[in-house]
Structure 1
Amino acid sequence: MWMYLGLLAALFLGLHNLCKKHAVKGNEVFPVLLGTITAGFLLLTPLYIGSKYSPDTLKDINLYINDISWQNHGFIFIKSLIMASSWILAYQALKHLPITIVTPIRSAGPFFTFLGAILIYNEQPNGFQWVGFFLIILSVLLYSRIGKKEGIDFKSNKWIFAIIGATFLGASSGLYDKFLIQKISLTPQTLQFWFCWYTTIILCIIVAITWLPYKEKRQAFTFRWSMPAVGILLQTADYFYFKALQDPEAMIMLLSAIKRSQIVIAVVIGGILFKEKNKRKKLIPLAGIIIGVFLILYSK
């Protein structure tokens, strides 16, 4: 069951990535980020209010937000710092790079998670899973060669390093999620609500320093429908992902790989919508990534 929940998370993440590309086009990254995370927070706020005033109803539908200790608040705040850093790097890269380059590089995230799952959680991959992960990495390298034809030099382009950093931080957060969900038993909605709360605070501080004081930046900002859509789709994807992680049999390295099937939406549909170059050539490494994910999913 947890694998199917992972596929649902991938579906909403793919749609989230398309909206994200639309939201950042021509806009400052930080206010866009703040708008998206605020939309997610507003989506979850009724659950928090309902948990205070009608707890039995929320418990009956498994959406009750639990009271947590200050220590657990600290754990969630750490996750907020990690993901805020990852998103800032990823949004900046997405603003300056084609989505058909950014998304496949982020697909290397399962490789970092894979190593962490072995070292931290002692998850044991088999031979086909090893082949699947290395196939994903080789496919991403092939994307780098295609990217050069679009004027993107992977060795000197700072936005490439930004998306690689975002990928590493995102993978670290994925490993941390297993600790939060399985080790200290946070429910998905409890984790999501407080994560959005702390991330909103962090981004408010950043926006107040880097954007609000500058009139020209404020005037250049354009609100788009895709901004709240990004936040809503992300929280929906995260809910299914965290529900999958609640299963004691769920393996974070496999879930991480399953989530990368979102690239089918991002590369195929995104390439058409945003009219990006070399779409046919990108189908080759895309196929490699899909085969890698397939080997991981069905290697048992």
Structure 2
Amino acid sequence: MWIYLGLLAALFLGLHNLCKKHAVQGNEVFPVLFGTVFSGFLVLLPLYLGSIFFEEQLIKMQLYISEISWQVHGFIAIKSAIMASSWILAYQALKHLPITIVTPIRSAGPFFTFIGAILIYQEQPNTFQWLGFFLIIFSVLLYSKIGKKEGIIFKRNKWILAIIAATFLGASSGLYDKFLIQNLSLTPQTLQFWFCFYTVLILFIILSITWFPFPEKRKAFTFRWTIIAVGVLLVAADYFYFKALQDPDALIMLLSAVKRSQILIAVVVGGLIFKEQNKRKKLVPLTGIMIGVFLILYAT
């Protein structure tokens, strides 16, 4: 069951990435990011208020946001700091790079998660899982060669380094999620609400320094409906992802790989919408990544 929940998360993440590309075009990254996270927070806020005033009803609906200790608050705040850093780097890179280059690099997340899952959680891959793992690595390297034809030199482009750093931080957060969900027994909605709360605080502090004091930056900002859509879609994706992690049999390294199937939406649909270059050539490594994901799924 957790595999199918992971695929649902991938569907919403693919749509989330398309909306995110539209939201950041011609906009400052920080206010867009703040708007998306705040939108997600507003979606979850009724659940928090309902948990206070209508406790029994929310418990029956399995949407109750439970009370947590200050120590657990600290653990969630750490996750917020990790993901805020990852998103800031990823949004900056997405603003300056084609989505058909950014998304495949983000697909490298399972590599870091794969290694962390073995070292930290002692998850043991089999032969087919290793084959899928290395096939995905090879496909991502092939993307780098295609990127050079668009004037993107991977070794010299700072936005490439930014998206790689964002991917590493995102993978670290994924490993941390398993600890929060399984070891601390947090429900998805409890983790999501407080995660959004602390992330909003972090981004508000950043905006207070880099954006609010500058009228010219505020005037240059263009609100788009996709800013709200990104937040709502991310809440949906995270909910299904955390529900999958609640299963004791769920393997984080495989769940992370399953989520990469979002790349199909981002590369094929995104390439058509944003009319980016070399779409047909990018289908070759895309196929490699999808076969790699299939091998991991087949071996489960």
Q: Same fold (TM over 0.5)?
A: yes
1:244-271 CA-to-partner distances (Å, cap 9, x unmatched) read 0000000000000000000000000000
Superposed counterparts of 1:145-164, under 5 Å: 145-164=145-164
Structure 2 CA distance, aligned partners of 1:277 and 1:217? 31
Residue number in structure 1 paired with 2:255:
255
1:202-241 CA-to-partner distances (Å, cap 9, x unmatched) read 0000011001111111111000000010000000000000
Residue number in structure 1 paired with 2:188:
188
Structure 2 CA distance, aligned partners of 1:120 and 1:299? 21
Task: Quote how far apart the aligned CAs of 1:165 are.
Answer: 0.1
Residue number in structure 1 paired with 2:58:
58
Structure 2 CA distance, aligned partners of 1:146 and 1:217? 35
Superposed counterparts of 1:244-283, under 5 Å: 244-283=244-283
Which residue identity lines up with residue 290 of structure 1 in the other structure? M
Aligned-partner SS, 1:151 = coil
Residue number in structure 2 paired with 1:171:
171
Structure 2 CA distance, aligned partners of 1:147 and 1:218? 33
Structure 2 CA distance, aligned partners of 1:118 and 1:299? 16
Structure 2 CA distance, aligned partners of 1:116 and 1:257? 13
Which residue identity lines up with residue 40 of structure 1 in the other structure? G
Aligned-partner SS, 1:276 = coil
Residue number in structure 2 paired with 1:219:
219
Structure 2 CA distance, aligned partners of 1:6 and 1:69? 29
Residue number in structure 1 paired with 2:43:
43
Structure 2 CA distance, aligned partners of 1:228 and 1:196? 14
Calculate percent identity across the aligned residue pairs. 78
Aligned-partner SS, 2:119 = helix
Structure 2 CA distance, aligned partners of 1:215 and 1:41? 26
1:36-72 CA-to-partner distances (Å, cap 9, x unmatched) read 0000000000000000000111011100000000000
Residue number in structure 2 paired with 1:27:
27
The runs of 4+ residues in structure 1 deviating greater than 2 Å are none
Q: Does 1:7 align with 2:4?
A: no
Gaps of 5+ in 1: none
Task: Quote how far apart the aligned CAs of 1:162 are.
Answer: 0.1
1:119-177 CA-to-partner distances (Å, cap 9, x unmatched) read 00000000110110111111010000000000000010000000000000000000000
Which residue identity lines up with residue 283 of structure 1 in the other structure? L
Structure 1 CA distance, aligned partners of 2:49 and 2:217? 35
1:21-49 CA-to-partner distances (Å, cap 9, x unmatched) read 00000000000000000000000000000
Task: Quote how far apart the aligned CAs of 1:299 are.
Answer: 1.2
Structure 1 CA distance, aligned partners of 2:74 and 2:54? 27
Structure 1 CA distance, aligned partners of 2:107 and 2:154? 16
Structure 1 CA distance, aligned partners of 2:216 and 2:284? 43
Superposed counterparts of 1:92-103, under 5 Å: 92-103=92-103
Structure 1 CA distance, aligned partners of 2:138 and 2:27? 33
Gaps of 5+ in 2: none
Residue number in structure 2 paired with 1:207:
207
Superposed counterparts of 1:101-116, under 5 Å: 101-116=101-116
Residue number in structure 2 paired with 1:289:
289
Task: Quote how far apart the aligned CAs of 1:108 are.
Answer: 0.5
Structure 1 CA distance, aligned partners of 2:163 and 2:136? 16
Structure 2 CA distance, aligned partners of 1:16 and 1:237? 9
TM-score, normalisation: structure 1: 1.00
Which residue identity lines up with residue 154 of structure 2 in the other structure? F
